[in-house]
Structure 1
Amino acid sequence: MSSPANGFDLSEEDRTLLKKIEKDSIQYFIKETNPTTGLTKDSSRAGAPASIAATGFALASFAIAANHGWISNQEASEKIKKTLATIKKKKCGKKGFYYHFLDPETGQRTWNSEVSSIDTALFIANALLAATYFEQSGLSKQIYSLYNQIDWPWMLNGKEFFCHGWKPQDGFLPYYWDMYAEHLILQALALGSSTNPVPASVWKAWRRESELYNGKKIIYSYTGSLFTYQYSHAFIDFRNLEDQNINYFSNSKLATIANWEFSSANQSQYKTYEGAWGLSASLGPDGYKPYGAMPGNAMHDGTIAVYAPISSIIFTPEESISVIKKIYKTQSPNLYGPYGFRDSYNLDSNWFANEYLGIDQGIIVLMLENFLNDGAIWKRFMKLPLTQRWIKLANLKRQENNSAE
């Protein structure tokens, strides 16, 4: 049996629970993906639009499910084919980038959404991951065709930073990926492109600002949300990579510990934080909020995003498993359903999310797959030629046998 990615001593009881969570979370994508268009809903809420990022996570989840024998290879292949056919036929964006939200029935833009740089990156990264499971089929060729069509320099809008997005009526949005956040996967895909790459200077340009929290120097994101320290790490194994004396795996581990410590320090104010943590963007009593911890903006109101500690498991296995077991034991009647854990909860407001979010279920699947199966996602993604091109162009240094502790 393969060991967890970082060699953590995992009991069979804990392994069984984590495997159940992964398998159940995949059900979101099986049930909430439109059977005709192959587009996946942003949330389980009735009438929700499709999300291009959630659709990407669906492709990867189908491939993972087939690899485990939870669905057949044929079923996974057919599901992925439908998605790719819709993306190709509907032309859901501009310059190879895709609209953030689409009508799941028609594939047309909805919610006045932007052509999104990061959501396109998440779709493509997941699609490329799915392609590694079907290398001998035509799926891989179709997926690489989508990747090769993306005009990455266009999204720079003449600047050194990637723009968040573009709208037909307004042009480029006034927001740029100019500091540390979840966009490292966007950067890797753009530098690693063999058709329309951006220069290495784009990797160097964004700010790596740091602050101390409880004596830990952390390169932080604006919101301090845990997901910003997770998304790129689902695909890229940063454990043995160094960027200007920075190890991003170690940084995410420190940020995760800070999130846990911040929650603990505020448990006298919010009872939700008693023995639990996980401050990240999620649904809350007053809608979707960019919750987070210090360092960063640290918006919080006693709401815990359940996906956050689960998806931090590669960084903090002991702390993550402890809170997963606690939430599963004490809150399952309120939070655990057919697709695993619902999004979030707040004991202080006696509030429990009644829906699932696609991207949150997706990051759960990928991180648990890495943890339970010896870095299975990392091994596939790190072998890709695009990943190796990015490492070389970004001038990242390899740290052999670094445990990133």
Structure 2
Amino acid sequence: MGFKIYGMKKIKAAILLSAILLTSCKSASSTQKNASTVSKNITDVQLMDRVQRDALKYFWDFAEPNSLMGRERYHEDFYPKNDANVVTTGGSGFGLMTILVGIERGFIPRKEAVKRLSHIADFLAKADRHHGAWPHWLNGETGKTVNFGNKDSGGDIVETAFLTQGLMVVREYFKNGNAEEKALAEKMDKLWKGVEWNWYTKGGEKVLYWHWSPIDGWLMNHKIQGYDETLITYILAASSPTYPIDAETYYQGFTRNGGYLTSNTKYGLPLIVKHNGAEEYGGPMFWEHYSYLALDPNGLSDRYIKNYFDLTRNHALIQYRYSVENPKKFKGYGENYWGLTASYTRNPDGSVGYRAHNPKEDNGVIAPTAAISSMPYTPKESLNVLRFLYTQKPQFIGSAGPYDATSVHFDNWFTPRYLAIDQGTIAPMIENYRTGLLWKLFMNAPEIKAGLKKLDFKSTKYNLK
């Protein structure tokens, strides 16, 4: 990559490239599954229903058949046999929340969803854990750790956090239900309370470390420091009733004692924080999605941030205005086609690669999830993209919704592939815009309220006392 990213994407790029650079891209002339032009008269509500239903298919129809967890990736054109049973812990957390959206919207029967979620909970209870943390990848047939990379052969506390926020909202959703639902909630509760968050301070340092391996120990030596997608890790660690961290671990570790603040602006919009390695425009858009699937930024503040919603909204608006300005003159960029995040990409030779797209790493490829999952921050601008894709670019839509990477500039190029971490943010974030469902479940969980209070967070929406 051309700039340094402190996050899982820095490592993921190298891993995915080695597994994926084998096939060529599709073009607009290719025959597509389930690709039909949607009427231009479709309402915004119908559009949101459509994409939420489509995205659910990734975790419902295309789940790994033994564990029923979310596959790391799903390709319509090519699926590596050795990856067919690789499941992702973090992406599966997003999938749990997507399934709740499916229940609420009537896309799937509640009773069937409870059975599936219970099956997933049973699988996770038996799967490899490393001081309570799950690895980045698991073998869906055996529950054993699948190495994510060199020395990354054990627990991944960030991926565990992405999974755990899903466990938490499922627990809250079903805790007052019937006997079967209460049993599911108890399973989820036990799973999250088993995570040894404080172990990942490496003996009590005032910072969390991303990885620990029973084989390689702390050799990855990757401190989790902001600002990026990892905020939720500290929130959950502080909220744990069993293995908590203290407030100073958050402030010294993630915020660097306020050292992550910045006075920089772009297009007249304050960035508020230094986005790791991408301080001019902000980083890839997933930095405002992964933690905020469950954590409600509206009216949320801590010692340094006056309102987290300003931070998330400004980041999305900066990306939008960048695409409207379109300084690199990429064809198609504008009000209806914007959004840069880590996703598959088009390599110069036409093959499929992986790139942490953002304004400083922009090669003309738009990832639809970037704009669509930003709907709570930029509803009008995000709906414009959603409408454009479904009504004017049917070749960009596949069996589980918008494909992971597209480009009008390169003759309507796309890759008919999906990644769990990208597809998994779409339905939850749209639902948070529509009803606040996942935000309300998470923010009203008693442990989360206590943890946020411990970290000196305040909220104008939720009583944290």
After TM superposition, the score normalised by the length of structure 1 is: 0.90
Say yes or no: does 1:217 pair with 2:270: yes
Query: What is the 5 A alignment of 1:371-386?
Result: 371-372=433-434, 374-386=435-447
Residue 5 of structure 1 aligns with which residue?
none
Q: Displacement of 1:267 after TM fit? A: 5.0
Q: Deviations over 1:165-191 (max 9, x none)?
A: 123332222222212111121111110
Q: Which residue number in structure 2 is paired with residue 179 of structure 1?
A: 226
Structure 1 letter corresponding to 2:211:
G
| Partner residue in 1 for 2:432 | 370
Structure 1: any 5+ residue segments left out of the alignment? Answer: 1-10
**Aligned partner of 2:325: which letter?**
A
Secondary structure of 1:198's counterpart equals coil
Query: Could you tell me how far apart the structure 2 residues matched to 1:119 and 1:112 are?
Result: 12
What residue number does 2:44 align with?
A: 14
SS class of match (1:391): helix
Task: Report if the CA contact (8 A) 2:67-2:120 is conserved.
Answer: yes
The one-letter code sitting in structure 2 at the alignment partner of 1:339 is: A
Structure 1 equivalent of residue 125 of structure 2: 88
What letter matches 1:93 in structure 2? R
Contact 1:256–1:315 (8 Å) recurs in 2: yes
Q: 2:356 aligns with which of 290, 305, 313?
A: 290
Encode CA deviations 1:18-46: one digit per residue, 9 max, x unaligned.
Answer: 11100111011012212322222011132
- The verdict on how the C-alpha distance between 1:118 and 1:112 changes in structure 2, with shifts beyond 3 A counting, is closer
Shift of 1:67: 2.8
Question: Which whole-Å CA distance do the structure 2 matches of 1:400 and 1:376 have between them?
Answer: 14
Whole-Å Cα distance in 2 between the matches of residues 253 and 318 of structure 1?
12
Question: What SS is found at the alignment partner of 1:145?
Answer: helix
State the partner residue of 2:288.
Answer: 229
- Which whole-Å CA distance do the structure 1 matches of 2:186 and 2:65 have between them? 22
- Do structure 1's residue 392 and structure 2's residue 429 form an aligned pair? no
When normalised by structure 2's length, the TM-score is 0.78
Is the 2:298–2:461 Cα contact (8 Å) retained in structure 1?
A: no
Q: CA deviation at 1:245?
A: 4.8
Residues in 1 aligned to 2:408 and 2:205: alpha-carbon distance in whole angstroms: 45
Q: Which range is displaced more, 144-153 or 55-64? A: 55-64
* 1:359 CA drift (Å): 1.6
**What SS class does the counterpart of residue 212 from structure 2 fall into?**
strand
Which SS does the other structure have where 1:21 is aligned? helix
Equivalent pairs: percent with the same residue?
27
Counterpart secondary structure, 1:56: helix
Following superposition, the deviation at residue 217 of structure 1 comes to 1.8
Contact (CA 8 Å) 2:103, 2:109: kept in 1 or not? Answer: yes
Preserved contact between residue 36 and residue 82 of structure 1 (Cα < 8 Å): no
Cα displacement (A) at 1:358: 1.0
**Which of 143, 148, 156 is the matching residue for 2:188?**
143
Which amino acid letter does the alignment assign opposite residue 358 of structure 2?
Answer: G
Q: Which moved more, 1:120-129 or 1:350-359?
A: 350-359
SS in 2 for 1:150: coil
* Alignment partner of 1:72 is 2:109: yes
Structure 1 vs Structure 2 CA RMSD: 1.9
Q: Check whether the contact 1:40–1:104 (CA below 8 A) recurs between aligned residues.
A: no
Question: Where do 4+ consecutive residues of structure 1 move more than 4 Å?
Answer: none
Count of paired positions: 384
Deviates more, 1:165-174 or 1:123-132: 165-174
Q: CA offset at residue 268 of structure 1?
A: 4.6
Secondary structure of 1:282's counterpart equals strand
Structure 1 residues 118-154: Cα deviation after superposition (integer angstroms, max 9, x where no partner): 1100111011111222213211111111111111111
Q: Give, in angstroms, the shift of residue 112 of structure 1.
A: 4.2
Amino acid at match of 1:14: D
- Structure 2 unmatched ranges of 5 or more: 1-40, 348-352
Separation in 1, partners of 2:236, 2:399: 34
Task: Identify the range of structure 1 (153-162 vs 278-287) with the bigger mean alpha-carbon deviation.
Answer: 153-162
Residue 300 (structure 1) aligned to one of 346, 362, 382: 362
Judging changes above 3 Å, is the alpha-carbon distance between structure 1 residues 94 and 331 closer, same or farther for their aligned structure 2 residues?
same
Distance 1:400 1:54, change over 3 A: closer
Deviation at 1:234, TM superposition (A): 1.6
